[in-house]
């Protein structure tokens, strides 16, 4: 299903030059490895464990605000330690269960060499590069901007602005593809078109409230939005 997000949508299918992808929830399904890293972290800092659904609901945040609500009240003062434990464990184990979403490889192969492709993620560089290399898709991207590369995380547009400037692309020729309201707001803050995927972390209701220009159920549907 390809859908325009709302009857008042002003964006149109066009020859966008640049596609900016979020990573987790768009390119890769990394929830299993993230949850495993949180379980490990909570155990080591002596916190009560959390169930899968609760941890999953916290994932859209960057590491510190993601981990803080997972800690029980007796362990919140150990947040700095928890962040370091999580980062170390996740970097070492981030490819145990992580896979590409259906349609991702096909979409990347289709656009590679025809469009500029970039990633704007809050994930950290070591894990990001390890996962993309392990899944053999690193080569498709012209630029990857991680949480290590910016001072202000999404929804601040710093990462997208850097991509636009580095790749020499105008705002009206770029589109942001994300799975959460944070991604859609990031694209809007950067002044570019936005497309929500419906298979990631964000719910349809949450994404509808952000009014993305497009919504897709499979990444291959980008072929109907971005002409080549």
Task: Tell me which residues are annotated as active site.
Answer: 22
Minimal CA–CA distance to 166: which of 118, 130, 209? 118
Q: Which of 54, 127, 121 is nearest to 89 (CA)?
A: 127
151, with CB counted inside 10 A (0-12, 13-18, 19+), is exposed
Residue owning tokens 């290590």: 148
Instruction: Give DSSP secondary structure letters for 111-175.
Output: HBTTBEEEEE-SS-HHHHHHHHHHTT-GGG-SEEE-TTS-SS-TTSTHHHHHHHHHHT--GGGEE
- Determine the Cα angle at 206 with ends 21 and 197, to 5°: 30
């Amino acid at each position: 299903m390809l859908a325009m997000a709302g009857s008042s949508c002003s964006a149109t299918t066009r020859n966008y030059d640049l596609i900016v992808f979020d990573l987790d929830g768009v390119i890769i399904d990394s929830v299993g490895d993230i949850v495993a890293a949180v379980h490990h972290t909570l155990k080591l800092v002596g916190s009560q464990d959390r169930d899968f659904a609760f941890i999953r609901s916290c994932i859209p945040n960057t590491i510190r605000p993601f981990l803080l609500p997972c800690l029980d009240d007796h362990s919140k003062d150990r947040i700095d330690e928890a962040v370091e434990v999580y980062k170390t464990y996740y970097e070492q184990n981030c490819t145990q269960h992580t896979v590409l979403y259906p349609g991702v490889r096909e979409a990347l192969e289709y656009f590679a060499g025809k469009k500029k492709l970039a990633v704007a993620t809050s994930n950290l560089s070591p894990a990001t590069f390890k996962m993309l290399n392990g899944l053999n898709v690193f080569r498709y991207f012209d630029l990857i901007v991680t949480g290590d590369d910016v001072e202000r995380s999404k929804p601040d547009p710093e990462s997208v602005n850097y991509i636009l400037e580095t790749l020499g692309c105008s705002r009206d020729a770029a589109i942001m593809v994300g799975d959460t309201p944070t991604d859609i707001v990031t694209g809007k803050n950067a002044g570019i078109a936005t497309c929500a995927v419906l298979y990631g972390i964000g719910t349809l209701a949450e994404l509808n409230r952000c009014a993305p220009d497009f919504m897709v159920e499979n990444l291959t549907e980008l072929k109907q939005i971005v002409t080549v």
